[in-house]
Structure formats: C-alpha cells, structure tokens
Amino acid sequence: MFSVIIPAYNAADKIVRTLQSVFSQTLLPTEVIVVNDGSKDNTSEVVKEQFPNVVLLNQKNQGPSAARNAGIDHANCEWVAFIDADDVWDEGHLNNLKNAIEAVPDADWACTAWSCITVKGKIIRNSYTLSGDVIYGATSSLLMFVKGFVHTSAVCIKKNLFRQVGNFDVQISHGEDRLLWSKIALTSPEMAYCSRISASYELAEGSLTNTNRDPKVGVEEAEYVLQRVEQYAESIVVERERLNSLVDFWCQVIISRTLLTADLAYLSAKKHFIAKINYRKRPVFYLLSLMINYPSILRFFKLLFQKAGLI
C-alpha cells in the first residue's frame, strides 16, 4: 500500500533510528526508498549494511526536493509516505494513515497529528489533536495547511496526484513542501486525517528543517511560492474563495517575514502584498498599511513609543 521515501544528507548518525521506526510499523510498508543526496559521511554504507531490503538511490547533492522527487519517480505503490532521515514514527503511524484513508476513500492525501521535538526528545509543540477518542475522517485541506497542521514526515500522498500538481519544487531549499501543500489544497479540498500523534520531527541545527536564516531570504521564498501558486491556479478550475484565502495567507507570511527585517524601506517596497490581505479578518494589517502609505502616522507612533520608553 505504501512506498516510504527518506531523503538523507549526512545522516549516518540518525538514519538508523529513523529506519528502525519505519520497520517497526504494525502495518509494514511495501517498499522503503532511501535517497542519499550526496552525503559526505557514510550514510550509504550504514543503510546498505544494516538495512539490505531498503532500495538505496545515490545522487549528487541537489537538496531535499530533488531527493524526494527521485524517490517518487522510483515508487511503485499507490500511496507515497515521507519521513526525513532525522525523524521518527510511532509503530502505528502507517496504520493510522490507512485507517484515515479508508474513512475518506475519495481523499488524495492524508496526514496524522505530529510532534516537534528537540534532539533530547523534549516536545516543543504538538500539531492539531482532539481530546477523547481518536478521530479518523475528512477535514479541509486548506484549513489544515494554513493552520500549520501538515508536516512532511506525517503526510502521505497518492502517487498519481503528483502528475497533476507536480513534484517538489527544486528551485527553493525551504518552503518547497508548503508550496506543494498549497497546490494540493487548491486541487483536493478534503484531506483524510487522524488526530492521534504518530510522527515526530526533530528540530536541530543541520537538519532538513532549519529556521536560522536571513529573514529577507524567507521573504523572497514566500514571494516565489505565492507566484507559483497563482500560476498553478491559472491552469486549473478552482473556487475563487479558496484561492483568495490561500493568497491572503501567503501575503501575510510575506509581510510578517518582512517585519522581521526591521527595514522600513524594505517593508514599504512590499506594501502591494498588504493590499491583498483581507483587512476584515486581519485589521492589524490595515493599520500597517496606513503607516506605510501615510508616513506621518508612522512618525506619530514612533514618537508615542519613544515617550513611553518602548524604543
């Protein structure tokens, strides 16, 4: 039922734990594909020696998107599940995905709840869960995405869906997964979901997920994602309200990241993105728009904050 794809770069010290969690599943995957993305350590040797049944692909270093895409191209199952080489699954993860899929047979993708953990295993935060009994059922793809409840190591996707939305974008090194989720949210309104936490991703220096970056790089990537989303929307039939909600979300991301630069000139250059935001839902962005378009208002608030000793 499932092909499991694991992109790996210099993961020799972590991938054993990851693969052990994959092969400890109560519902075993049909195949496991590790894509060694030009590692400089002995990742490839570790996988070959300890997990001879794994399909091992070696390629020059091209980034996680290219590695996942290589795995997708070699996958033979109807469903493709992903896990990064420093993340882990609980033993019931694939079974949870299977139950969610069976509960929503028309869904093209599925996800479980997940945890973000430190290297020492301390939980930083959990995704959306429900108290009480575990729920398997349908939920809004768009809602799950904009709320940040979709994570690569907790998701599975029908392989034939990639033919429609495309694979992971190799032009960006961060946000490639969120670009793909955005396109799927436009294409497939419903997601099959399991509210039980069964995937954990590790947030650590050097992992595939790393937030220690120049904010302007994040702004540029978010702009690129928005551009690609709008281009994709032009090629399909999509509800205008759903597209507007997604554009609204990415414009908020762009402006929020722009604010982190603390560069007023840079912020002013991005004011056209503020104009796309739904002010009724986010009135703070209307105030921000006034400040940018009317410098006297900005000077007033700056003076006010100075008198209050806040700046």
CATH T-level assignment (fold) for domain 2-202: Spore Coat Polysaccharide Biosynthesis Protein SpsA; Chain A (3.90.550)
Q: What is the pLDDT of residue 22?
A: 98
Q: What is the pLDDT of residue 309?
A: 67
Strand ranges (E), 70-207:
79-82, 88-89, 109-117, 123-126, 136-140, 155-158, 190-202
Q: What is the pLDDT of residue 285?
A: 58
Q: % helix / strand / coil in the chain, to the nearest 5?
A: 45, 20, 35
Q: What is the pLDDT of residue 274?
A: 78
Q: What is the pLDDT of residue 299?
A: 60
Q: What is the pLDDT of residue 119?
A: 75
Please state the domain extents for the chain: 2-202, 215-307
Cα separations in angstroms, 71 against 189, 242, 267, 274: 26, 30, 39, 38
**Rg for the chain, CA atoms, rounded:** 21
Q: What is the pLDDT of residue 279?
A: 59
Q: How far apart are CA 184 and CA 165, in angstroms?
A: 7
Q: How far apart are CA 197 and CA 29, in angstroms?
A: 19
Q: What is the pLDDT along the chain (311 residues), one digit of tens a residue?
A: 999 999 999 999 999 999 999 999 999 999 999 999 999 999 999 999 999 999 999 999 999 999 999 999 999 999 999 999 999 999 999 999 999 999 999 999 999 999 987 777 777 777 766 555 567 888 889 888 888 889 999 999 999 999 999 999 999 888 899 999 999 999 998 999 998 999 998 876 544 444 556 888 989 999 999 999 999 999 998 888 899 999 989 998 898 888 888 787 888 888 888 778 775 555 555 555 555 554 555 565 566 666 666 55
Q: What is the pLDDT of residue 129?
A: 61
Q: What is the pLDDT of residue 88?
A: 96
